[in-house]
Chains A and B, each alone.
Chain A
Amino acid sequence: MAEEKHEHEDHEADAHDDHGHDDHGHDDHHGHIQLQYEDALPIRNGKVCLWLFLSTEIMFFAGLIGTYIVLRFGAPVGTWPTPHDVHVNPNVGALNTVILIISSFTVVLGLEFAKADKRREAKLAMLVTFIFGLLFIGIKLINEYPAKFSHGIYPSSEGLIHEQSNVYYTAAVRDTLKGWGAEQAAPVAAADSATDEAAEGAETAPPPPVESDGIMSDEARSLIEKIYYGGAKWTEYVAAEKPDGLDARDTMMSLAQIIYPLDRNSHAFAHYIEHEREVIERLRETASESPRAVELQQLLEQRDALLAVVASLPKTEHGNKGVNDYLHEDLHFHHIMPIHIPSGNMWAGTYFLLTGFHALHVLVGLIMFICILLTPCGKKEYGLIENCGLYWHFVDLVWIFLFPLLYLF
C-alpha cells in the first residue's frame, strides 16, 4: 500500500514538472524514470510457487476427504466400524494432533529466530520440529499401523475381512483352520457309524501338511481344534439343517463374534448363547432318526468345550477377548482367522489411503527439515525456512480435519 501511495505522489510530481520545467523530464530524481515496476505478486518467486502448490494440495486432499465422506456416510446404515472395532485409539490420534501443533509452533519460532539472525536458536527450533515430526511418524509406524495389521485389518481385495458373517465367512474360517491342520488329530473324524465312514473318508482325504506345526503350542492346537469343530463345523451343521433362518444367521454371527468380537453384536451374542439350548433341542429332534445324530453329538461336545474356553478368556473393557487375539497375543500363534467387520474393507481402504498420503507428506517434510538443518539457519535462509514452514503448516492443517473424521466420527 505504502508503495502505491508513493507512486501516486510521483505522478503528481510528474504532472507538476511537465507544467513547470519541461527540461527537467530527464532528471534522475524526478519524473517517469523513477517509476517503480512491481512484480506480478509482491512476494518471492519461491513463495508464489509454494502457495500455488499448496492450492493444488488443498484440492487434492479435498478430493480424498470428499470421497471418504461419500463412502463413510453412504455405507449401509449402522455398518461403519466403531473406532474400537478397528483398533483405532482416539487418544493416540489426539496425542499426534498435539505433536503436530507443537511442531507447527516451533517452525514459527524458528522462522522468527532466523529473521532476527539468531542462528543457534533457529537451528534448535528446527531440530525440535524435526524430532516432533519423527515422533508423529514413529507413533504411526510403531503403534497405529501395527495395531491394525496384527488383527488382519489392511486394504486388500483378498484380505481377512468379511463384510457379512454368512456361509462364505464360515467356509473361509473352516478352510483356514483346516489349513492349520485342525482336522488332523480329530476326535470327531473317527468313524463311529459305519454308514458315515465312506462319505467322511471321501470328504476329508489325507490331511494337508501343516507348516505351522513347529510353532503351534499344545494349547493353541487344542483351541484350534475346538473352534474347527465347535465353531466352524457346528455352524455349518446348523446352517445346513436350517432349523430356522434366524438360528442359522445367529449361529454364524456367534462364530464371527467368538473369533473377533464387535461391540454392536455383544448383546445379540449373549442373547443367542443363552438360547442356544433351544436350537440344539430342535436339531436333536430332527436328527434323532438320521445317522447325523452321532455327528451332532460329537459337534455338541466340542461346542460346549469351545464356549467354556471363550467364557474363560481374559476380559477386556468391552467383554471377553476374541479367539483371534487370544491365539495371537497369548499363545503366540502366528496366523489369524478371517474376521467379520461390516464395511471393514471400505474402512481399511479409506483410512490407510488418507493417513498414508498424510504420512507421506510428513515424510517429505522431515526430508526438508534435514536440508534446513544442514544450512546455517540465518537470515539468508529466511525464505527457505518460510517455505518449508508453510508446507509443514499445511500438513498440520490436513491432520486437523483427518483427526475428527477418522478417529472420532
Chain B
Amino acid sequence: MDHETHDTEHHEEHHGEHSHLRLFIGVAIALAVLTGLSFSTEFLFENNIISKGMSWFLMMVVSCAKALLVIVYFMHLKWETNWKWVLTIPASVMSLFLVLMLIPDVGNRTNHYTRERLDHAALPTKPESDDHATTHDESHGTESDDLEDDANH
C-alpha cells in the first residue's frame, strides 16, 4: 500500500510542478476581484443602470466563474486524470436537476394560495419593482385591498 501511495504521489508530482505558485496567486487575486465585481452589480442596480433581475443574473454568473476557478485550480481538477468526470458530472447533474425540479414550485406557491395561507402570509406593502421609483400616496394605494379585511379583523 505504501508503495502504491508513493507511486501515485510521484504521479501527481509529475503533473503539478513547483511553478504553480504564481498561478495560484493569480487565481486568488482573480477571486477577490470577482467578489468585488458581484458587489459592483449591486451598485449598478442602486443607480438604476441595470434591473434587479439583471444584477441577480450577473451575480450568479460571477459566482459560477469563481466556483470554476476554485474547482479547477485550487482543487487541482485541472491536473487530474479522467476519473474526475466520474464523480463530478453525476453530482453536478443531480444537484442541477434537483434545483430545476424545485423551480415550478416557485410559480405554484404564489399562483395557488389557499385562503388560509393567504391569511397568514406576509402582506405585500408594495411591489418590489416600485422600490426605487418615486410613487406617491402609497398608504392609500389600491394594492392588497382585498387582503384588507383579513388584516382588520
Is the CB–CB distance between A409 and B56 below 8 Å? yes
Is the CB–CB distance between A90 and B124 below 8 Å? no
Q: Is A227 an interface residue (CB 8 A)?
A: no
Q: Is B63 an interface residue (CB 8 A)?
A: yes
Q: By CB atoms of chain B within 10 A, which of A75, A98, A264, A400 has the most?
A: A400
Task: Give A298 to B107 CA distance when docked, in angstroms.
Answer: 49
- Tell me which residues across on chain A come within 8 A of B3, comparing CB atoms: none
Task: Give A242 to B127 CA distance when docked, in angstroms.
Answer: 26
Is the CB–CB distance between B151 and A164 below 8 Å? yes
Task: Give A296 to B32 CA distance when docked, in angstroms.
Answer: 60
- Tell me which residues across on chain B come within 8 A of A52, comparing CB atoms: 87
Is the CB–CB distance between A90 and B123 below 8 Å? no
Q: Is B54 an interface residue (CB 8 A)?
A: no
Is the CB–CB distance between A101 and B35 below 8 Å? yes
- Tell me which residues across on chain B come within 8 A of A302, comparing CB atoms: none
Interchain CB contact (< 8 A) of B98 among A66, A104, A408: A66
Is the CB–CB distance between A67 and B88 below 8 Å? no
Is the CB–CB distance between B121 and A70 below 8 Å? no
Is the CB–CB distance between B152 and A55 below 8 Å? no
Is the CB–CB distance between B105 and A74 below 8 Å? yes
Classify chain A's interface size.
35 or more
Classify chain B's interface size.
35 or more
Within 8 A of B (CB), among A264-280: 264-265, 267-268, 271-272, 275
Is the CB–CB distance between B151 and A267 below 8 Å? no
A42 and B122 in contact (CB under 8 A), knowing A59-B94, A112-B21, A408-B38?
Answer: no
- Tell me which residues across on chain A come within 8 A of B110, comparing CB atoms: 74, 76-77
Shortest beta-carbon distance, B41 to chain A, in Å?
Answer: 8
Q: Is B49 an interface residue (CB 8 A)?
A: no
Within 8 A of B (CB), among A72-106: 73-80, 90, 94, 97-98, 101-102, 104-105
- Closest-by-CB residue of A relative to B42 is A408
Is the CB–CB distance between A409 and B122 below 8 Å? no
Is the CB–CB distance between B9 and A382 below 8 Å? yes
Is the CB–CB distance between A98 and B128 below 8 Å? no
Is the CB–CB distance between B140 and A55 below 8 Å? no
A400 and B67 in contact (CB under 8 A), knowing A77-B128, A265-B125?
Answer: yes
Interchain CB contact (< 8 A) of A249 among B70, B105, B148: B148
Task: Give A400 to B34 CA distance when docked, in angstroms.
Answer: 10
Is the CB–CB distance between A94 and B102 below 8 Å? no
A400 and B66 in contact (CB under 8 A), knowing A65-B99, A97-B35, A342-B125?
Answer: yes
Shortest beta-carbon distance, B143 to chain A, in Å?
Answer: 9
Is the CB–CB distance between A112 and B20 below 8 Å? yes
Selected A-B contacts with CB under 8 Å, 26 pairs? A43-B8, A43-B80, A59-B94, A61-B95, A76-B110, A80-B128, A90-B39, A101-B35, A104-B28, A104-B31, A115-B18, A116-B18, A164-B122, A164-B151, A167-B151, A249-B151, A264-B125, A265-B125, A267-B138, A342-B125, A389-B74, A400-B66, A400-B67, A401-B63, A403-B63, A408-B42
- Which residues in A have some Cβ–Cβ distance to B below 8 Å? 1, 39, 41-44, 51-52, 54-56, 58-59, 61-63, 65-67, 69-70, 73-80, 90, 94, 97-98, 101-102, 104-105, 107-109, 112, 115-116, 163-167, 239, 242, 245-246, 248-250, 252-253, 262, 264-265, 267-268, 271-272, 275, 342-344, 379, 382-383, 386, 389-390, 393-394, 396-397, 400-401, 403-404, 408-409
Give the top 6 A-B pairs by smallest Cβ distance, nearest first: A62-B95, A74-B109, A342-B122, A55-B91, A79-B122, A105-B28
